[in-house]
Structure 1
């Protein structure tokens, strides 16, 4: 298999592990900075160059696109798709996952439970918007935040209004959610590859914080996801169209709730906590799916 990995930094742990796993399996692999890929688009075909030379005939591409370059990185990934290259996470699926509002709407429409969420634009509607959610505490999230950034907890109604007014003054897009107190600052990261959970990690927020993200000082330990948790995680990834995803769940009195679906989940924390060769699982899945596309047939986007 001729494999490309879209990543801005080849020395990052996740990128390095994918390269190592691919080479251990005797695949040809190259890391491409998506911002150095440029495209020609015409009715007669699709072409792409990288640092002055044409790139083509890749069987598969694994996107490791950071949130800051989502738009351009997705365009590059889409160009690969139009050139007949398989990807486990299509550009349209990444866009769905990165937009928290769209992600929540799509999951809820399929009956996948999540914390109750409200969203509004006009300042005149703030009081009624919060009444639709219920009494605080409230969790306020930037729509395109990541790794726990842009997530705030407000314990009083006046604080919720103040934060909302500030964010609107900055023209920021945000969501407001119910706070699940019984989760006690813990969540479960389920790593989904090819329609199954290959590893799970329990993350615990540090003292004085409610965010369990490892980048925010949270701790991670290996966990065994229940059948119900695995089913929710797999279904959430499938609804968004992701073959590789990190699905974050919290346990509530009404069962597991989806907090977030990550289209470029990091490997370092969960591989080190669980000892599972997740990079290997990803490469094996991609290799198995990419084989039928070796003749360069164009994929249908959707």
Structure 2
């Protein structure tokens, strides 16, 4: 079977280009081990021809390469909603696409993710959404007081996430974020999230493929930092999920409409709470922490989904 990996990697924009190159290498190797061909197409080399009843993708000004299905490694950088239209076109053309366009767009926006999970009664870290300084005091009170976590709707690798411990620093951080957002095209929306003290700088990444948690790791922040991300210097180790954590992770991926994802969970006194869902999860940390061939799990799922799609047509 031939699989085409659509890469959104832009080395000039990406904070960790080597990380995404590692992900692609792992997926390519896993496909080869299973007797499949995997080619990588960068979205920067694609064009989209729009015409009545005959829109299609082009590649380097020629026809798009023939393939059985697509595996998408979606960028988490700003401004990729327009680029995501390429992924949407592949779906409109009848291809099997993993992860689907709709799921990627939902997961890219932290606000939309939390909104959907909350609507479906999936436990999340309590969050208040604000657009200005107005109502900050009420928001903090709803979250149980300081300290709180301040987030932007977009970002990855721990970017756009700040722990605020004093009222003075809270207003300073919010003013800075609002000014930064005003310079770009992003909506001035800020997420204020409860700080779960008992987590003590730890969270869990559950890696879901299809309807199965294939691997899970505990991430611990380095000294002096509250962010447990691997790329912020945190450490990782294999962890066993409770039945409730397992159910939360599976439900979150299903609600967002993703085929695979990394679900980030905090262990609180009240039980597990989801803080984020990553529709473009890295493979390096989870593979090293657990020893699981996560890339292989993704390839196996991709091949099976393509086969099922063929049987339906």
Q: Deviations over 1:177-221 (max 9, x none)?
A: 110000010011100001110001110000111100001000011
The reply to whether residue 64 of structure 1 matches residue 80 of structure 2 is no
Q: Deviations over 1:255-277 (max 9, x none)?
A: 11101100010001111111111
SS at match of 1:124: coil
SS at match of 1:139: strand
Structure 1 equivalent of residue 219 of structure 2: 203
The reply to whether residue 47 of structure 1 matches residue 56 of structure 2 is yes
SS at match of 1:18: helix
Q: Which consecutive unaligned segments of at least 5 residues does structure 1 have?
A: 298-302
Give the stretch that moved more between structures: 71-80 or 9-18.
9-18
State whether residues 40 and 48 of structure 1, in contact with CA within 8 Å, keep that contact through their aligned partners in structure 2: yes
Pick the aligned partner of 1:240 from 228, 238, 256.
256
SS at match of 1:71: coil
Give the stretch that moved more between structures: 32-41 or 6-15.
6-15
Give the stretch that moved more between structures: 165-174 or 230-239.
165-174
Structure 1 equivalent of residue 115 of structure 2: 105
Quote the Cα distance in structure 1 between the aligned partners of 2:202 and 2:138: 30
Aligned-pair CA distance for 1:157: 2.3
The reply to whether residue 269 of structure 1 matches residue 285 of structure 2 is yes
State whether residues 59 and 85 of structure 1, in contact with CA within 8 Å, keep that contact through their aligned partners in structure 2: yes
Structure 2 equivalent of residue 25 of structure 1: 34
Give the stretch that moved more between structures: 127-136 or 280-289.
127-136
SS at match of 1:42: coil
Quote the Cα distance in structure 1 between the aligned partners of 2:36 and 2:197: 47
Alignment of 1:85-234 (within 5 A): 85-170=95-180, 171=182, 172-234=188-250
State whether residues 131 and 190 of structure 2, in contact with CA within 8 Å, keep that contact through their aligned partners in structure 1: no
Count of paired positions: 297
Q: Which consecutive unaligned segments of at least 5 residues does structure 2 have?
A: 10-16, 183-187
Structure 2 equivalent of residue 7 of structure 1: 7
SS at match of 2:218: strand
Shift >6 Å, 4+ stretches = none
Quote the Cα distance in structure 2 between the aligned partners of 1:73 and 1:271: 29
Quote the Cα distance in structure 1 between the aligned partners of 2:294 and 2:142: 41
Q: CA RMSD in A?
A: 1.8
State whether residues 59 and 294 of structure 1, in contact with CA within 8 Å, keep that contact through their aligned partners in structure 2: no
State whether residues 198 and 278 of structure 1, in contact with CA within 8 Å, keep that contact through their aligned partners in structure 2: yes
Quote the Cα distance in structure 1 between the aligned partners of 2:126 and 2:307: 42
TM-score by length of 2: 0.90
TM-score by length of 1: 0.93
